[in-house]
Every structure is written in C-alpha cells, then in structure tokens.
Structure 1
Amino acid sequence: MTFYTPETQRGRMLLNTTDLYGNDSFSCAQPSVEGYRYFGVFWGSVVTVVGTLGNVLTVLAFATDARLRTRFNVLIVNLALADILYCTILQPVSVDSYLHLRWRGGATWCQMFGLLLFLSNSVSIISLCLIALSRYLVVAHRNSKVARLLLSRQGVAVLLMSSWALGLASFGPLWPVYVFAPQVCTCSFHRIKGRPYTTILLFMYFFLGLGFVGLFYFLIYRKVRIASKALIKYRPSRRSSRRKQPEPEGTDGDDSGIGVGTAATQSSEISEQAVETDHSKSSVNDPQTIPSVTKTVTKIPNGKKTSPKAAAPTPSPSPAQSSSPGEDNEFKRVTRMCFTVFLCFVGCFAPFLLLNIADKKSKAPQVVHMFCANLTWLNSCINPLLYAAMNRQFNQAYKDLLAKAAWPIMRLWKKP
C-alpha cells in the first residue's frame, strides 16, 4: 500500500483536473495582460452596476406601471431577466477572475458558470426572435389564428417557459466539457471536446436565430413601407369623403396590438361608427377587397340618420393603414427600438464570434481575445439605456421609480 502526504494528494488532484480539462491551471496570467486586466475590472464593474440597476428597473416598471403591462412587454421583461442573471450573478465572478487573473471557484463552479452563461445568451437570442416575430405578426397577420394563438395570454406564457427550457436543454448536455478558458479568463465549453455539437449550437443560435430576427425586421420594414405608400394615395379620397376627426392618442404602452382592448382596436371601432355613408367599408381580413357601389343608411352616435348616398368604390386600407398617424408613428418607434436592441446584440457578439472562427489555432494575442470577450459584456447592460432613450413610457417609469427610491434620502437630507 502506498501512502501520500497531503501535499502529494493535492498535487495528484490538480493533475487529474488538468488532465480532465486540458488546461495547465486555472490561471490566465500573461505578461501581455497584466495591465489590461485593470481595464477589464473597471469595465466589468460598470456593467455589473448599470446592468443590474437598469434591468431591475425594467422589471419593476413593468410590475408597477399599468400602461406597460402588455403581452408584448412581457417579452422585453424576459430579456431583462436573462440580463439580470448575467449582470448580477456571472459578471461579478468575471470581474474577480480578471482582478486575480485566475479562476478561484473550483471545477464544479466553473461548469455551473459555463452553463448559466450560455443559458443567459440563448434566452436572450430566443427573446429577440420572439420580439421580432410578434412585431411581424402584428403587421402582416394580425387577425390570423396563428397570431391570436401565439400572442394570447396562454401563448405568451408558453413561449416564455419554452425559451428557458430550450436554452437549458441545448447547453445542459455540455456539462462535462465546460472548462476554464485562459484566453478570455473565464469558463466556457472546450473548443475541441464539444465538437461537433457546439458548432451546431452556435450556428443555430448565433447565425440561424439572429438571421431570422434580421429577416423578420426586413419583412416588417417592407410591409410598413408598402402600407405607407398606399396610405399616401388613399388620404386624398378620405379627406374628400370623410369629416375631419380628432386624432386619438398614440398607444405607447400597447402599440403592438397584443393586449386586450388596445387603442388601435378601439380607434378602428370608433371610426367604423362615425363613418359617413359616402365612405365604403370592407373586411379587415381582406384588405385588397374593393367594395361595390351600394346605398346604405348609417347611424350617428347622437341617434340621427344620414340620407342614403352611393358609396364610391375606394380601396380599403389595411390594418396598418387604418390606424391613426399617432399610432402608426408609435408603432414605428417601438419597432425601431426593438431593431436597435437586435443590432446592439449583433454588434457586441460579432467581433468575438468572428475572432474565434478566424483564430482556430489561438495564435492571436490574448489581449485581443479578452477585449472581444469584454465587448459581449456590454450587451447585458445596454438594453435599459435604449428603452429609456427610445420609449417615452419606459423613460417616465424609470424616472418615477428613481424618484420614489430617492424620496426618503431627500427627506432625510432636508431635515435640520
């Protein structure tokens, strides 16, 4: 029987860990990154504070502001929860690794970190896909059975739970190959041992998934542009045959039409009641239908009746065209905000993905790998800033929450 001293046993355990993960140690110290690590610590600390505060404010704004509690904004909250997971739990660990240039959590926590990291990223990508899909369905297939099913309360709940379940099911099998990657001073899956499964996953999520998001926004842009051109041609006939009506307020909270009783639906109902007899009606489900010349008697809200007149065969507007200018502008603003979130996600991850594809043999300087990895951190904290800058209601909700949080401090400050 062979006896080992405690030091020998620890050495054997370290050797076994080294053999298992293919790394010499849990250290990422190199002379070229000794100075850069302080930038990584500073940058990671900013992302932790700003990302945690901003995403928590997003969730609280949704919970406290009735105007923001819509089914479309549930998708934004799901994206915020994925960012909270990263900023609050994972980012401080990365800051500690950069500060010491060493992973100090052990092998098991390294595996857990890698799983949570890719779970957060996968849920973010799935949420971006669902947001783009919902915007497209509202524009192109608002009254279809598929849109009503997916955008119903139960449908949205199933989609949210499925996003987390799919992310866990996708990256959970990689548990044995999550290792410490010295190039980026964090834990990730092994670049060789996980193939070809890891290659398929990255292609499906980062290339195929984000490609579909870009396709949906292109289709939205094309649909809105066609509707805008048709509306310009349609306005002269409306002005000549309809009375001027007050413009309803824009629907900043539920512009998507996903919620029940949206302003877009209400305004269309009001316009149908107040329409004069010389303005023809057509089915919303068939925007291309041109009604025939008929004689009708339409009731006005005050109980009076109009004299029958022949209706001119004017083209009926699509749902996008029938909304008021305020609603149309608000829809474009929210869609533009969602598209900007998507572009920021792509911009943050593109350099890191392209570098790993081009540098298969890891010949690029370590500081370049670390810098590209640091760009991905920005994605988790930038979304609330975009909401505040591009959405009035989120901006106002943030201000109200911050004012309520600062009120006790200001009260104590004013006391003599």
Structure 2
Amino acid sequence: MLLNTTDLYGNDSFSCASPSVEGYRYFGVFWGCVVTVVGTLGNVLTVLAFATDARLRTRFNVLIVNLALADILYCTILQPVSVDSYLHLRWRGGATWCQMFGLLLFLSNSVSIITLCLIALSRYLVVAHRNSRVARLLLSHQGVAVLLVSSWALGLGSFAPLWPVYVFAPQVCTCSFHRIKGRPYTTILLFMYFFLGLGFVGLFYFLIYRKVRVAAKALIKYRPSRRSSRRKQPEPEGTDGDDSGIGIGTAATQSSEVSEQASEIHHSKTNVNEPQTISSVTNAVNVASNGTKDSPKAAAPAPAAAPASSGEDNEFKRVTRMCFTVFLCFVGCFVPFLLLNIADKNSQAPQVVHMFCANLTWLNSCINPLLYAAMNRQFNQAYRDLLAKAAWPIMRLWKKR
C-alpha cells in the first residue's frame, strides 16, 4: 500500500518476479484462497444472519453489517485478483484495472476504520451519555443510516483524488498509490485513518472501561449497604410483609419505576446488542446513591432489579469485549505492515518480508465472522441455523441416493 515503484507504467512495471519469492508465492496463493473462501462465506453469513434473524436486527448491528460489507468487497472482488498476481508474479489486468483495484482497496480499508470508530463511539455514548441529545440523534434509525452512507462517501472522497497515481507495487505484488508522487496527501490520509482514527477507537474503549469499572465498584459497595438497610429498617405500613423496604408515596413510585426498568432489562436480554437497553449498572447505582437515610429516595429497589441489571450488564460487557477484540485484530493485522514501510523508506528490506507483512493484512477481512461466532451467542446460533438450512437440500439428495 505504501510502496515504491520505479516507473509509472514503465517497461515491465507490472512484474513482481524475483528469485527470492519464487517459492513464497505458493504460500501467498494458498493463503489468499483461504481468505477468499472463509472471508466471503463468513461475511455473507453475517449479512444474512442480520436479514433473517429478528433478534439481530438492531441499530448497533447495522454497523457490524457495514463492516461485513467492506470485507465482502475485499474478499470477494479484490482478493482473487491478488491471488492471480501472486500465482503469475505479474499484474495481468492492465493500467485502468490497477487504478480501480487501488481505489477499491483503500475504500474497503477506510470504511472498515470509520466503522470501527462508529462502533466504539456508539458503545461509549451508551455507557456515558445515553440520554444526551447527541446520543439520541446518532443512535436513531435516521442517524445510523446517515452515518453508514457517510462512511462510504468519506472513504471514496478521501482516496478518489489519488486516481492518477495508483500503480502496481512490485514489492507486494499488488496495486497501490505511488509512494512519492502521492505526497503529501497520502501521508496526511494515512495519519488520519491509521493513527488518528484508530487512536480514537482505542481512546473510546479506554473510556468505556473506566466507566464500567467505576459503575461496577459503586454497585459492589451498594450491595452491602442494601443488605444492612434491610436488616435495620422497620417494615413500613402497607407492605404486607414485603422485605424490599418499599414504603408509600414517592418511595413506592420510585420502586415501581425501578421494577419496570428491571423488567425491561430482563426482556431485552435476548437482544443484547441494542444500544438503548444498556447501562443498567450505572442506572442501578444512581438509584441507590440518589437518596439519604432520612429520605424516601433511599429505599431499596425491588429484589428483581439487581439480578436483571447484573445479567444485562454482563451481556453488555461481552458485546463490548467482542467489539474491542475486532479492533485489536485490525490493529494487529496492519501494524507490522505500517511499521515496516515507515522503517524501510528506501525499500532495502527483502521483498519476501514486505510480501509477508502485506499478506498479514489479508487476515483482517476474514477474521471478524469467526470472532462473532466465538464471542456472540446470537450470531453463533444464527450462523448454525443458516448453515443447517443450506445443508438440508444436500442431505435430502444424499439420503435419496
């Protein structure tokens, strides 16, 4: 992606043949085929799971689908072309297709980074500013639709101006922008997307971690005081032996609201990816800490609220952990390649090293569905159902034979 080439469409400018990569190219071909098959199947399953499973059709999962679409663009269209180039150690598509390939390559990468930023931002808003005007606007159906269209428009608008300088990069046997002719615009773009953009993603997840940790500590401190208040507080009139400590007037009203919130959270546990149902731990802590011992606001919430809040909070943590893992995998796939190109400005490193680091970036486009299957029960079940339905006609034909 950041590589040098000797001449813009010069003699033999589409060849990457070298004695040092004659054997390695077969590994590249094998690895590219695996990425094509696994990435296409996994990301198509992700889109189909969203379309067919009502539990997965949430505004947050729309961002997951957008990430899958960017990966489909790479795995299904671009990766087979790279496999062909590795097999023949030569670009066989011509100059125009080389330019188109380079544009689509960076469009896919940029949309992935923008979507990772949106995912991290949405998780942070749910935790820290759920009821703010900005959160309601961005997480609405219209807001999410605008964000998705904007991610593709921004990616295309960022890298389309580089059309004249997309060329074949022999060191990685693929098409990219010319490293020197694209400056300083390419340097600014790479800094904004790969360093500033991914840096903001990391910052949002760090802020989420702090918020969740503070809320969890406060909830742990609240539970002993709740048990203590139950032992010390006399049973109010009208409770009919209820040990929840609910009195009359404002205290009863507040407990009713908390119970309704707990019921809503319990109902939403089958739809853990919806942003609007999250932050129950913080809400429970706020309910517990708003009152004093002389005020009816200090009354403890209904017994059902604590288990529901705890369970829903655990689901939120699992979904956030999955998103953070997706981000870490993206960084892990691209960092070696970026560092190599920064350190090797004069292209003195062996070609096979450049090719290996470039091949590592291919992993990013096919690994996300595997993470969803491993870390999200709903996606896992949806994948199983889709595969079972796809295999059923084959099994029927096999049994007839």
* TM-score bin (small chain): 0.7 to 0.9
On the 8 A contact 1:242/1:279 being kept in 2, the answer is: no
Cα offset, 1:190, TM superposition: 0.1
Question: Equivalents in 1 of 2:362, 2:158: separation in Å?
Answer: 22
- State the SS of the aligned residue for 2:131: coil
Cα offset, 1:263, TM superposition: 24
Distance 1:81 1:319, change over 3 A: farther
Distance 1:375 1:241, change over 3 A: same
On the 8 A contact 2:63/2:118 being kept in 1, the answer is: yes
Question: Equivalents in 2 of 1:109, 1:40: separation in Å?
Answer: 21
- State the SS of the aligned residue for 1:278: helix
- State the SS of the aligned residue for 1:242: helix
Question: Equivalents in 1 of 2:245, 2:162: separation in Å?
Answer: 40
CA deviation digits over 1:155-214, x for unaligned, max 9? 000000000000000000000000000000000000000000000000000000000000
Cα offset, 1:415, TM superposition: 1.3
Cα offset, 1:278, TM superposition: 23
Distance 1:251 1:101, change over 3 A: farther
- State the SS of the aligned residue for 2:175: strand
On the 8 A contact 1:140/1:223 being kept in 2, the answer is: yes
CA deviation digits over 1:27-74, x for unaligned, max 9? 000000000000000000000000000000000000000000000000
Distance 1:15 1:329, change over 3 A: closer
Q: How many pairs does the alignment contain?
A: 401
On the 8 A contact 1:143/1:285 being kept in 2, the answer is: no
Question: Equivalents in 2 of 1:81, 1:239: separation in Å?
Answer: 50
Identity %: 91
Cα offset, 1:272, TM superposition: 4.8
Question: Equivalents in 2 of 1:114, 1:252: separation in Å?
Answer: 73
Question: Equivalents in 2 of 1:261, 1:58: separation in Å?
Answer: 50
Distance 1:140 1:358, change over 3 A: same
Cα offset, 1:306, TM superposition: 18
Question: Equivalents in 1 of 2:238, 2:40: separation in Å?
Answer: 31
Compare 228-237 and 126-135 and name the one that shifted more: 228-237
On the 8 A contact 1:278/1:309 being kept in 2, the answer is: no
Distance 1:107 1:286, change over 3 A: closer
Cα offset, 1:114, TM superposition: 0.1
Provide the alpha-carbon RMSD of the alignment.
Answer: 9.8
- State the SS of the aligned residue for 1:281: helix
Residue 282 of structure 2 corresponds to residue 297 of structure 1: no
Question: Equivalents in 2 of 1:214, 1:187: separation in Å?
Answer: 30
Residue in 1 aligned with 2:36?
A: 48
Query: Scaled by the length of structure 2, what TM-score is found?
Result: 0.82
Distance 1:97 1:382, change over 3 A: same
Residue in 1 aligned with 2:382?
A: 397
Question: Equivalents in 2 of 1:247, 1:296: separation in Å?
Answer: 23
- State the SS of the aligned residue for 2:289: coil
- State the SS of the aligned residue for 1:180: strand
Distance 1:349 1:144, change over 3 A: same
Choose from 390, 393, 396 the match for 1:408. 393
On the 8 A contact 2:126/2:276 being kept in 1, the answer is: no
Compare 283-292 and 341-350 and name the one that shifted more: 283-292
On the 8 A contact 1:388/1:394 being kept in 2, the answer is: yes
Distance 1:317 1:102, change over 3 A: same
CA deviation digits over 1:69-92, x for unaligned, max 9? 000000000000000000000000
Question: Equivalents in 2 of 1:243, 1:113: separation in Å?
Answer: 70
Compare 302-311 and 391-400 and name the one that shifted more: 302-311
On the 8 A contact 1:297/1:308 being kept in 2, the answer is: no
Question: Equivalents in 1 of 2:304, 2:17: separation in Å?
Answer: 68
CA deviation digits over 1:324-377, x for unaligned, max 9? 111010000000000000000000000000000000000000000000000000
Compare 55-64 and 246-255 and name the one that shifted more: 246-255
On the 8 A contact 2:2/2:341 being kept in 1, the answer is: no
On the 8 A contact 2:26/2:87 being kept in 1, the answer is: yes
Determine which structure has greater relative contact order: mean sequence separation of CA pairs < 8 Å that are 6+ residues apart, divided by chain length: 2
On the 8 A contact 2:60/2:273 being kept in 1, the answer is: no
- State the SS of the aligned residue for 2:73: helix
On the 8 A contact 1:255/1:330 being kept in 2, the answer is: no
CA deviation digits over 1:258-288, x for unaligned, max 9? 9999999999956158999999999999999
Distance 1:265 1:54, change over 3 A: farther
CA deviation digits over 1:204-235, x for unaligned, max 9? 00000000000000000010000000000111
On the 8 A contact 1:256/1:331 being kept in 2, the answer is: no
- State the SS of the aligned residue for 1:16: coil
Compare 18-27 and 168-177 and name the one that shifted more: 18-27
On the 8 A contact 2:278/2:313 being kept in 1, the answer is: no
On the 8 A contact 2:121/2:201 being kept in 1, the answer is: yes
Distance 1:315 1:171, change over 3 A: farther
